[in-house]
Amino acid sequence: MRILHTADWHLGKIVNGVYMTEDQAIVLEQLFEVIEQHTPDILIIAGDIYDRSIPPKEAVELLDQTFTRLIKSFNIPILVISGNHDSPDRLQFGSQLFRNHQLYIESKFKQPIEQLTFTDEAGPVHFYLIPYFEPADVQAFFPEQKIHTYQEAMEAVIDTITTTMNPNERHVCITHAFLAGGMESESEDRLSMIGGSPYIDVDIFKDFDYVALGHLHQPQKIKTEHVQYSGSLLKYSFSETNQKKSVTLIDMDSNGLIDYQQIPLLPKRDIRVIEGYYDDLLKQSIYPATEDYLHISLLDDGQLLDPVSQLRKKFPNILRLEKKLKQSSLGLGQLERVKQRKKLSEVELFEAFYYEMTDERLTETRRNIVTNVINQLTKEEREQ
């Protein structure tokens, strides 16, 4: 069976104030070309279809056009789950009707997990659709267990699947999660760390023949070839400038063994970082003009009079312009604090902010109040 694995479309994404909808439409055209050329049996979209719970109308229209064309032009099942950016209710709308056209959308966590079975010449292949969930979502279905972390939640979910799996048949898991060992970038929203780590151990998925993941934007395998992130369709931050975007094509044989290839996607406008002296940047022989989205880092020491106006005549899509700070200008202590802050949970960040503002530590009672507020806001955002 041939499976085309994609994820993290983030339709409606804004990068440094610029809507990416036109760029997304262009790269989705390439997706159609990939399907025409490689004729997959199944198309997977592993979450984060939209970039936020209430997407702009242009993003909704683009998804409508894309799904309509996929259904009308290609007679293949399309398996879709929600990600942490999606609104489960909005993505679920019309899903029962879409099933008549082989478009299967699973956006709300429930029990039992949605299982879809498709058959090739070697027999059945079972697909398990696990949309993004918070640990509290899973706890509601397993009141007899104590579930506080993503690891505990995923263990409970996978256990309900593996106990009914026929080991002589083939099984594919589709989910949106952060597996330990994965390489992240700045454009991925941090998953909630209330109550513990957001990471999940890859060994939980050892009984599946393939695991199609969404969330991390860099195409990558986690520990083994049968567990993979397809990555996002486009670069969505300057931290992704060195990544090569692609979709993942999986060929699964009768024994569940896979052969895969990453098929590159080429954007109309790349996202790049360039650095140089102001006068050099204006020279065509050194830096050719481009419409790419740019972060320009100036090396000049002295003051420059409105450099962005002149540079934009040559580079119209400058998204960020800054002077490069010398490493020595930041103390080692400050750099270490910045690194540590990135590892803090929402509650821990608030505790640090509270201490800086009041010079007092957050009491346990107030910490519980903050935790409940953050939990409620996370839940409301997901339900919008």
Whether residue 160 has pLDDT greater than 70 = yes
Whether residue 194 has pLDDT greater than 90 = no
Is the omega angle on the peptide bond into residue 307 within 30 degrees of 0, that is, cis? no
Whether residue 302 has pLDDT greater than 90 = no
Whether residue 384 has pLDDT greater than 70 = no
pLDDT at 207: 95
What does the DSSP assignment read for 184-224? P-TTSPPPP-TTS--EE-GGGGTT-SEEEEES-SS-EEESE
Of 271, 268, 246, 199, give the one whose Cα is nearest residue 8: 246
pLDDT at 196: 57
Q: How confident is the model at residue 374 (pLDDT cuts 50, 70, 90)?
A: confident
95-153 pLDDT, tens digit per residue, is 888 999 999 999 999 999 989 999 999 999 999 999 999 999 999 999 999 998 999 99
- Note the Cα 120 to chain centre separation in Å: 30
Q: Could you tell me if residue 195 is left (phi over 0), alpha (psi between -120 and 50 degrees) or otherwise beta?
A: left
pLDDT at 300: 86
User: What is the three-class DSSP state of 302?
Assistant: coil
pLDDT at 77: 97
- DSSP classification of residue 163: T
Structure tokens at 295: 């972060």
pLDDT at 362: 83
- Note the Cα 104 to chain centre separation in Å: 20
pLDDT at 190: 63
330-356 pLDDT, tens digit per residue, is 555 555 555 565 566 778 778 877 766
As a whole number, mean pLDDT of residues 215-243 equals 94
Q: Which residues 6+ apart lie within 8 Å of 183 measured at CB? A: 216, 218, 220
pLDDT at 336: 58
